[in-house]
A and B are shown apart, each in its own frame.
Chain A
Amino acid sequence: GENVEQHPSTLSVQEGDSAVIKCTYSDSASNYFPWYKQELGKRPQLIIDIRSNVGEKKDQRIAVTLNKTAKHFSLHITETQPEDSAVYFCAAIQLIRMRFGAGTRLTVKP
């Protein structure tokens, strides 16, 4: 079936370090790749997204890169802060075909 693989499942970094989360998708027709952040006990919220006609997008400390040929995309968080601690979900979407990754639990240690 069409899946989204997300790695790592858990990630622990020291405050100020960078964090990278990677996702691989199989549906070559996917053209929209959002990232959602879910804090403990809260609802998922969109933090950044990228469309297939763009290779990279940046918003302050957060960036996403997309390699369509290899069918993988990554979330980069620089200068991590304790409030970045959460579960992050990637998704690969093509119109009505929508798949989320299993999530990455990021812990930023002060």
Chain B
Amino acid sequence: DSGVTQTPKHLITATGQRVTLRCSPRSGDLSVYWYQQSLDQGLQFLIQYYNGEERAKGNILERFSAQQFPDLHSELNLSSLELGDSALYFCASSVGRGGNTGELFFGEGSRLTVL
């Protein structure tokens, strides 16, 4: 158990819909990262938050948005869903501000299926 909690574990929805994925980081970790992993693909970095502020942005679509709340949990909002958005979405947390400050602890992922 990494200490990072993601909900829901599985989600099936239709094209055009909107979903929200939730992540609770490890106790004490201030950074939250979101990654997208499509079938048999690598980890695509979407966005990072540190202590409530956006820290870094990767290949995140304009239809996607995220935020980190004062209690440090984070939500990833995916809207106007397309078939190609079907993927495993991982949240990871770390204690430091930068990705080079140490290990990323990944959650179990939220598997999104868009039909």
Contact = CB atoms under 8 A, between A and B. Distances in A.
Interface of A: 31-32, 34, 36, 42-46, 49, 51, 89, 91, 93-103
Max chain A CB contacts within 10 Å: which of B41, B42, B56, B104? B42
Nearest to B31: A96
A94 B2 CA distance: 24
A44 B42 contact: no
Contact of A96 (B42, B55, B104): B55
A32 B99 contact: yes
B41 to A, nearest CB: 7
State the main secondary structure of chain A at its contact with B.
strand
Contact of B103 (A46, A96, A102, A103): A46
B24 to A, nearest CB: 14
Max chain A CB contacts within 10 Å: which of B90, B99, B104? B99
Contact of B56 (A44, A96, A103): A96
Contacts of A34: 103-104
B48 interface: yes
Contact of A99 (B45, B48, B104): B45
B108 interface: yes
Contacts, number: 56
Interface residues of B, number: 20
Max chain B CB contacts within 10 Å: which of A42, A44, A102? A44
State the main secondary structure of chain B at its contact with A.
loop
A95 B103 contact: no
B99 A95 contact: yes
Contacts of B56: 96-98
A43 B99 contact: no
B90 A96 contact: no
A94 B100 contact: yes
A103 B90 CA distance: 16
B108 A46 contact: no
A87 to B, nearest CB: 9
A101 B44 CA distance: 9
Contacts of B33: 98
Contacts of A45: 2, 106
